[in-house]
């Protein structure tokens, strides 16, 4: 698997990718596909978050749980869907917050590649899922790999912003020793899901806070338009 990891991430991920657990993950995915199960996102896109956002370019980290589990949705970036796919409810709420916070009109599509190319790491906890079975690949070996990616960003000398939405994202990122007391900006809020968005995600103003911090650090704001 190490050979498929983009070059900028290889040194950070090499130790975890050499473990038996990582080899078991590869065997698990092969066995699932050999059994005829449909796995999302398709091969070639599962590491898209790392490919589109090199480690040295990361400015912002947004964490998701696992990929969308419907046909044609997932393409390797958390919260993002392919062009032409209906915008999922959580992303609708993210767009509502962008409109309220920055005055940006709500996009008609849900593709967030433009964010990733500017340094927004859109990383899920597990990078694959079985069709129709949310969370089905949790605990199968992705977590140590994505944990290592988060830790690599936390170790960067350049200040970054961690946008932690929901208890799952908070737990994952704040498990990195010292992150909360580091030179990075860590912002937390409820998940943008319709079940929790009105409990504090809507109105959190994370996007304007992130840009103000990045500009103050001389790193340049993110253009959140997609």
Q: For position 180, what pLDDT does the model report?
A: 87
> What mean pLDDT do residues 193-197 have?
97
Round to whole Å and give the CA distance between 192 and 202.
8
Instruction: Return the CATH number at 171.
Output: 3.40.470.10
Q: For position 2, what pLDDT does the model report?
A: 65
| Span 134-155, pLDDT tens digits | 999 999 999 999 999 999 999 9
Round to whole Å and give the CA distance between 117 and 109.
17
The token pair at 161 is 């912003």
| Span 97-129, pLDDT tens digits | 999 999 999 999 999 999 999 999 999 999 999
Round to whole Å and give the CA distance between 95 and 86.
13
| Any domain includes 222 | no
Round to whole Å and give the CA distance between 19 and 144.
10
Range of the domain at 16: 7-217
Given the DSSP bridges, would you call strands 39-40 and 129-130 parallel, antiparallel or unpaired? antiparallel
| Span 60-98, pLDDT tens digits | 999 999 999 999 999 999 999 998 999 999 999 999 999
| Any domain includes 107 | yes
| Any domain includes 1 | no
Q: How many domains does the chain have?
A: 1
Round to whole Å and give the CA distance between 142 and 64.
13
Q: For position 105, what pLDDT does the model report?
A: 95
pTM: 0.96
Distances (CA, A) of 32 to 40, 65, 91, 129, 135: 12, 20, 29, 11, 15
Q: For position 70, what pLDDT does the model report?
A: 94
Comparing C-alpha atoms, which of 163, 124, 162, 121 is closest to residue 143? 124
Round to whole Å and give the CA distance between 130 and 135.
8
Task: Give residues with Cβ within 8 angstroms of 45, minimum separation 6.
Answer: 74, 75, 76
Round to whole Å and give the CA distance between 155 and 74.
29
| Any domain includes 173 | yes
| Any domain includes 211 | yes
In the predicted model, is pLDDT for residue 198 greater than 80?
yes
| Any domain includes 176 | yes
Could you give the residue numbers annotated as active site? 66
Q: For position 3, what pLDDT does the model report?
A: 72
| Span 1-60, pLDDT tens digits | 667 899 999 999 999 999 998 989 999 999 999 999 999 999 999 999 999 999 999 999
Edge-first strand order for the sheet with 120-124 is: 120-124, 60-64, 161-165, 185-189
| Any domain includes 48 | yes
CA max distance for the chain:
52
| Any domain includes 153 | yes
């Amino acid at each position: 698997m190490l050979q498929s990891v983009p070059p900028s991430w290889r040194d950070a991920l090499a130790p975890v990718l050499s473990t038996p657990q990582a080899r078991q993950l590869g065997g698990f995915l092969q066995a699932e596909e050999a059994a005829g199960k449909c796995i999302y996102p398709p091969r070639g896109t599962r590491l898209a978050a790392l490919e589109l956002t090199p480690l040295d370019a990361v400015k912002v980290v947004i964490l998701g749980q696992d990929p969308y589990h419907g046909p044609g949705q997932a393409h390797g970036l958390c919260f993002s869907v392919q062009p032409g796919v209906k915008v999922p409810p959580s992303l609708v709420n993210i767009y509502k917050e962008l409109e309220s916070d920055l005055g940006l009109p709500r996009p008609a599509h849900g593709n967030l590649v433009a964010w990733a190319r500017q340094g927004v790491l859109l990383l899920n906890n597990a990078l694959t899922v079985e069709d129709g079975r949310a969370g089905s690949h949790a605990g199968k070996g992705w977590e140590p790999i994505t944990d290592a990616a988060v830790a690599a960003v936390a170790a960067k000398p350049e200040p970054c912003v961690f946008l932690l939405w929901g208890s799952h994202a908070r737990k994952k990122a704040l498990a990195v020793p010292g992150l909360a007391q580091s030179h990075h900006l860590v912002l937390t809020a409820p998940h943008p899901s319709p079940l929790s968005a009105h409990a504090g995600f809507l109105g959190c103003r994370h996007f304007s806070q992130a840009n103000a911090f990045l500009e103050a650090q001389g790193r340049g704001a993110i253009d959140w338009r997609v």
